[in-house]
Chain A
């Protein structure tokens, strides 16, 4: 509170000299990491999936991705100028937000929708909260959900890869429609759909969906790369995917003729993209390991609830946003007790 008032009275936030802050005797090493480096690594990990998207959807995909990145960086620059803050677009976080936003959109998204999405993602999702590191919600997902609520029609026109002007349903949408039909008594189409699920196509990305939902294989490779170089923690993706797997297996075992098998739920939709690249955002996920695990399980449960019972065919973005809101609570609950303090003393404090 105090610092908030101070920063309001003075136009600039004054920090002590960098040299004053370094108190050192033994040799310390800087690990060489910086925000810019981490962001670049994540972008690098996303590149294979982008290439696959461009391969399947052609120039349309390239256009959406570049426009989103351009608009996001532009919005950040504009907001920094309006807010009289130092320009921080060279940390690449706005670039990454733009890329993730683009990967969450259907390939045929009109340019002006990309612009509105970027304005909401960076302007409201990030800069309104105070910029880098202050946002409670993942900016790219804020942008995507705002677009999904605002323009349901444009956001639900999916192209079938390879065919430019043909639009069709995503696998999850198709499943939802067929399930409704089956509940009404006509289960022949559902049976046929369930027996001929083309897992190979899903793995390689040959299906309708947003740009980043397409190629599971490229996303998994990128995600594993990030985990190996320790940019993201393994707990969140692993527990999130495992929760979805367990829930969908249970549902499938209970009603094998109505529910899709677990591998369908893992490969279709944005689960892989969300689990590896969006739930793991260090700003909006809990800091402690236990917190991260609870966060991931919560995401998985909400995803399953939305997929099984919800109006929307897909719920990754909603699930991650809801759990983003829980992050401060999870951090508080899973905070480690200082060594040596007694339980009672902590309670009374």
Chain B
């Protein structure tokens, strides 16, 4: 796979939010406005690129049995750096709203997921690019969500009032609104995917392994 392809992969084809469905917690929590979304996206991208690079450099001498704790230590180091950088240079109100979600990037499943799935098997340059691409994809997804929510809730974008006298729908400021928006974006995306496949003469492709880990409804009665 060429380096450019590695980079492009995370943008749309394997977009961490819209396709891999990873990192849902910050996705739903901090996308109440485009500005918060952008801040969170950039912070996560920096961590992803840095940790992917270092994990890939160290992959030869990290013992397989303890690899996850090692990855976490590396990721945590980068998160601490990003957190302190943000405290020094980011606007204070952005820091305040993102709050606990910056330290929580440590447990964001995208970061650990990419370290495990890509960086531990590939060269350092490719890994760094993969981290950047995934981070950019994450940022784009957060921006779409945050922009839509801010537009519906406040009629503004990046705090710039686009619609005057907009009677905001407060629901979209809450986490419920985040679920609605994400759900509809995914529905539109799936619709297009299905349409394209039908044009190519292929049927709808169901997920290969339905992931039931978080849902136990079918086991309740047994």
Contact = CB atoms under 8 A, between A and B. Distances in A.
Contact of B206 (A5, A335, A349): A5
B220 A149 contact: no
B2 interface: no
A116 interface: yes
B38 to A, nearest CB: 25
Q: Taking chain B's interface residues, is the majority helix, strand, or loop, or is none over half, making it mixed?
A: loop
A108 to B, nearest CB: 15
Interface in A303-349: 328-329, 332-333, 335, 349
Nearest to A11: B198
A150 B169 contact: yes
Given A124-B180, A149-B174, A328 B222 contact: no
A5 B169 contact: no
Contacts, number: 35
A129 to B, nearest CB: 11
Contact of A152 (B170, B180, B221): B170
Contacts of A116: 169
Contacts of B220: 329, 332
Interface string A144-173: 001001111000000000000000000000
B167 interface: yes
Given A9-B203, A9-B204, A112-B167, 20 more contacts: A1-B210, A8-B203, A8-B204, A8-B206, A124-B180, A128-B187, A149-B170, A149-B174, A150-B169, A150-B170, A150-B171, A150-B172, A151-B169, A152-B170, A328-B217, A332-B220, A332-B221, A333-B221, A335-B221, A349-B222
Interface of A: 1, 5, 8-9, 112, 116, 124, 128, 146, 149-152, 328-329, 332-333, 335, 349
Interface of B: 167-172, 174, 176, 180, 183, 187, 194, 203-204, 206, 210, 217, 220-222
